[in-house]
Structure 1
């Protein structure tokens, strides 16, 4: 049997020496060569009678390499599992160990050395009531609730056409005619298009609001809508194809207001309540305001929980500064990522080690709290995701279950879902044992804090990308 010997360099580094004995390797090689001999048809030899020496020259090196690699992998990982070693990264061939010559003609004992980087042993500090955190409690103003309800009523309202009056949020249907002096240009441009007054330049908007449906006026079409370049105006206002390169010498065109329409807000009643809030959830205006406040509160509470978890993570990292086998990890990143360079590894190493330390703390905390992610957890997670695709209004369980089953077949999706479920459970467990004080905060201030947190997260992701990590 192969011998495996572990030498502990320190608490974070070990060297495994694996010896593959000549007799076992030779027996496996002979067995594989025998299989080839049965199939081989070589000129000058009957089938199954090819000499051993010739088979070794033709196929021996590749077969020997496969035998050695398979045996090494098995012995290496069996040792790690049997001894419950928490290995960081993957084992690496020792740098100073000489290259092994695999000669199928003269099989011998083979000795290989592998460096292991080990996770530190530690107990988590900071998971008790003496650890105090603040969680934002966002104050939702009456004005915000009123604004959201008005938006909802607009979204489910009906479009009506005005006979004359034009209002600030109207959609206008306009007819454009190219001019030659004060008259329509013969063979000139004529085109119909729509304009949302909210998108119009301030000056153009004021002019249009001073007129009514049916009026004809002259306007600079290139100064009609905000943030539109000449290409957009030619394509959508003038109706010119991309290939049409005719020169437009005059910016002023004749415009006729053919129609003005607007969304009339849905009436506050059963039809609107059931459509927007869901069947039977709301039956009057007071309940509508309460439902919007609750939904907004849940939305902000999710973000506040995310910020709280960030603070938990940072404090746990601060209180549990775990040592790591730095030199080994730098070698491993270089060896496992063809895009990495010594310079890029150094530049992103601090971010990388912080992420690794958090993974160790997170996983130990999950074991400590007995947290597991079950198949039912994943199904519930994916079911909620599917419902979100349909705005939470899908009642077809056959369709939902079918989409969930397809998502469960996607390994990458399952891994991502498992991580998110684990973190949700972990946060709930940590929240239950630490002290959390609520801190009221106006919505505007909270939104700015979220914006800054997103910028920081993007910066951290950029640093991680330096090492070629795919998050």
Structure 2
């Protein structure tokens, strides 16, 4: 129907012009109106017998708008597909070109122009340097600490009849002012005491007493308000009491101790109701796997970022910068650089996928959807989420076009990056949890684009 002309305006740009003669547009509208007349009832006319002139006035624009949009899309993308033009992004209408307003009752010749950003031809160069992949250090000491914490979480607090006081005990004490009236019964946690006080109490028994000249030096990092509110539990009327120069006696009335749970059948069932963990070795393996999973995934993400940066910087090819600036509509140079880097990476990713014949399967997208759902649930799968429920939920996710495209893109990204990593040298560097968190923070600060400053 349309007369289509195409010219290449640069190494990575092209231009398509569509010309729709008014006679062809009018003919197409008449055909569509005839179809509509058979489906609708118009007062004063038998179905299918309404004159075209009346149809144009009554429902012409209602039909013509969608018809014109559909016709333009079919002609434009039909030509692009026929000529196998590889585009970076959708055709951009030439906004500088004046287009006459047309309607069902005022059809004119229609001429439209579109600028094209074409995929560049380039030879892919892979990085030669090695890359660091951070992994969580799941040493025996680290797993020992995790096991100890689990045993304490499932343990019981028991009263110790006499003593001696140990590092992690809880003490019921009486704090009594020496030669004064201030007194209070409270609890002290031995592992939170200042070293000097801790040394005096550890090894002592019920009934032991120590003297302190400053209650602010009993617990670690205790403020004056903490002393007044928690150690002495002063009333509002007593809050202004001067504690300077006052000495206190701390007497131990009771010792409580957390007794860690035994690593027995009951413990393993509590930890894993499905019964896959039946001994300490399996427990340690599961703890190492579960704790490393999130950190190691972050380590892979950071390695991927550095690999992508090396690929983008190591492959110099032309892209349609001016068209991309029109597309981004962002005057901030740093934001555009980020956008351009994304376009270059997309082209490299597509090149790798084509060279390695990487194809996306339904199971890849389904796995990505499941992972997305698990992230929303905090990584835990509630008991009610059976396989049937998950399948139905994922099917609904994939029905949403935007979600489906995002999930497909993420799944393809993972497959491509996995293939790229196989061709490169990655050196694992174990980090402790603390070191890993510091590394992630520094990485994010160094690589997060600056936020736009609000205009005053």
* TM-score, L = length of structure 2: 0.71
- Pair 1:162–1:28, CA change in 2 (3 A): farther
The question of whether the paired residues in 1 share the 8 Å contact of 2:190 and 2:198 is answered with no
- What is the aligned counterpart of 1:443 among 431, 452, 456? 431
Change in Cα spacing, 1:239 to 1:2, as seen in structure 2 (3 Å) is farther
Spell out, residue by residue over 1:236-294, the C-alpha distance to the aligned partner (whole angstroms, 9 max, x if none): x9899xxxx99955598x99999765532222444445654774556356x76666566
User: Does 2:121 correspond to 1:133?
Assistant: no
Asked whether 1:366 is paired with 2:353, we answer yes
Query: Which blocks of at least 5 consecutive residues in structure 2 are unaligned?
Result: none
Per-residue CA deviations over 1:377-436 (Å, capped at 9, x if unaligned) read 344455567788697787x6971441243134224665554444433332332233x242
2:414 aligned with 1:430, yes or no?
no
CA-CA distance at 1:57 after TM superposition: 5.6
Taking the aligned partners of 1:256 and 1:47, their CA distance within structure 2 comes to 104
1:28 is matched with 28
Which residue matches 1:337? none
Q: Please state if 1:321 is matched with 2:316.
A: yes
Q: Distance between the aligned counterparts of 2:82 and 2:207, measured in 1?
A: 86
The equivalent residue for 1:402 is 389
Q: 1:18: Cα distance to partner?
A: 0.9
SS in structure 2 of the partner of residue 89 of structure 1: coil
Indicate how the Cα distance of structure 1 residues 227 and 460 shifts in structure 2: closer, same or farther if over 3 A, else same: farther
User: Aligned equivalents of 2:381 and 2:99: distance in 1?
Assistant: 64
Q: Are the equivalent residues in 1 in contact too, given 2:124–2:348 (CA < 8 A)?
A: yes
Give deviations 1:180-204, integer Å, cap 9, x for gaps.
Answer: x9489xxxxx9x9988776x68599
Aligned equivalents of 1:68, 1:251: Cα separation in 2? 86
TM-score scaled by length of structure 1: 0.69
Contact preservation (8 Å) 1:386, 1:400: no
> Counterpart of 1:283?
279
Displacement, 1:89? 3.1
Counterpart selection for 1:377 from 352, 360, 364: 364
Q: Give the Cα–Cα distance (whole angstroms) in 1 for the partners of residues 4 and 95 of structure 2.
A: 18
Q: How does 1:80-95 map to 2 (within 5 A)?
A: 80-95=80-95
Q: SS where residue 87 of structure 1 aligns? A: coil
Give the aligned partner of residue 99 of structure 2: 99
Corresponding residue for residue 69 of structure 2: 69
CA apart distance, 1:80: 2.4
User: Alpha carbons of 1:183 and 1:312: their partners in 2 closer, same or farther (altered >3 Å)?
Assistant: closer
Deviations 1:206-250 (A, max 9, x none): 6996999899999989x989699989x989x9899xxxx999555
Deviation at 1:66, TM superposition (A): 3.1
Deviation at 1:368, TM superposition (A): 2.2
CA distance in 1, matches of 2:174, 2:75: 80
Unpaired segments ≥5 residues, structure 1: 185-189, 335-340
Alignment of 1:261-340 (within 5 A): 261-273=256-268, 275-276=270-271, 279=275, 281=277, 283=279, 301-334=296-329
Q: Do the aligned partners of 1:408 and 1:414 also contact (CA within 8 Å) in 2?
A: no
Q: Distance between the aligned counterparts of 2:224 and 2:386, measured in 1?
A: 45
Kindly indicate whether the alpha-carbon contact (under 8 Å) linking 1:201 and 1:226 is maintained by their aligned counterparts in 2: no
Looking at structure 2, the residues matched to 352 and 56 of structure 1 have their Cα atoms a distance apart, in angstroms, of 46
The residue that corresponds to 2:8 in the other structure is 8
Contact 1:25–1:67, Cα closer than 8 Å, also in 2: no
Aligned to 2:118: 118
Shift of 1:116: 1.6
Q: 1:224 to 1:63 in 2, by over 3 A?
A: farther
Q: How many angstroms does 1:150 deviate by? A: 1.9
Whole-angstrom distance in 1 between the partners of 2:182 and 2:293: 60
Could you tell me how far apart the structure 2 residues matched to 1:330 and 1:207 are?
69
Q: Does structure 1 conserve the Cα–Cα contact (< 8 Å) formed by 2:117 and 2:320?
A: yes
**CA shift in 2, pair 1:145/1:249, >3 Å:** same
Residue pair 2:368, 2:410 contacting (<8 A) in 1 also:
no
Kindly tell me: are residues 425 and 260 of structure 1, through their superposed partners in 2, closer, same or farther at Cα, counting changes over 3 Å?
farther
